[in-house]
Amino acid sequence: MSELEKTPYRLEIFTPEKSHYWDSFLEKLPYAHFFFSRTYQAHQAGRFEEISMMVWKKNTLVALLPLNLTSENLSEKRQEKDKVKPIVAKTAISYQGLSFAGLLALPTLRYEEMAKIWVLILRFLQAQKIQTLLYHALPDYQNNFENQAVRRIIFALGAKLVRIETSAVLDWTKELRYDSQKKRNLKKAQKNALVIQKIVLASQKPPSFEEVEKIRIFWEILHQNLAERHGKEPTHSFTEILGLMQLFPKNMSLFLVEKEKKIVAGVLFFQTRTCLHAQYIASNSVGRKAFALDFLFDQILQNPLLWDIRKGDQVPFFFSFGISQVRPSGKTNLNLLRWKEGFGTKAFLHESYQIDLTQKIEISEI
- Name the residue ranges covered by the structural domains of the chain: 9-165+350-365, 174-310
Lowest mean pLDDT among 63-72, 100-109, 141-150, 190-199: 141-150
Mean pLDDT over residues 9-21, rounded? 95
Mean pLDDT over residues 175-189, rounded? 97
State the pairing for strand pair 346-356/132-136. Answer: antiparallel
H-type alpha helices, 281-333: 285-289, 292-302
pLDDT at residue 313, rounded to an integer: 58
9-165+350-365 against 174-310: fold identical: yes
What pLDDT, in 10s, does the model give residues 277-333? Answer: 999 999 999 999 999 999 999 999 999 888 888 765 555 589 999 998 887 778 898
**How far is it, in rounded angstroms, from Cα 348 to Cα 144?**
12
**Which of these, 58, 135, 59, 142, lies nearest to 91 by C-alpha position?**
135
Which residues are within 8 A (CB) of 69 and not within 5 positions of it... i.e. 6 or more apart?
A: 48, 49, 50, 51, 90, 91, 92, 93, 130
Question: Residue 167: pLDDT above 70?
Answer: yes
Class of domain 174-310: alpha beta
- Phi, psi dihedral angles at 271 (to 5 degrees): -115, 135
Question: How does the average pLDDT of the chain come out, rounded?
Answer: 88
Residue 5's pLDDT band, with cuts at 50, 70 and 90, is low
Residue 72's pLDDT band, with cuts at 50, 70 and 90, is low
Q: Is-above-0.85 flag for pTM?
A: yes
Q: Residue 59, Cβ neighbours under 10 Å: how many? A: 5
Q: Which CATH superfamily is domain 9-165+350-365 in?
A: Gcn5-related N-acetyltransferase (GNAT) (3.40.630.30)
What pLDDT, in 10s, does the model give residues 77-120? Answer: 444 433 444 444 589 999 887 777 889 999 899 999 999 999 99
Mean pLDDT over residues 264-287, rounded? 94
Mean pLDDT over residues 222-229, rounded? 91
**Residue 163 one-letter amino acid:** R
Residue 54's pLDDT band, with cuts at 50, 70 and 90, is very high
Contact indicator for 326, 317 with CB cutoff of 8 Å: no
What pLDDT, in 10s, does the model give residues 124-137? Answer: 999 999 999 999 99
Question: Residue 273: pLDDT above 90?
Answer: no
Lowest mean pLDDT among 243-247, 351-355, 359-363: 359-363
pLDDT at residue 89, rounded to an integer: 53
Residue 344's pLDDT band, with cuts at 50, 70 and 90, is very high
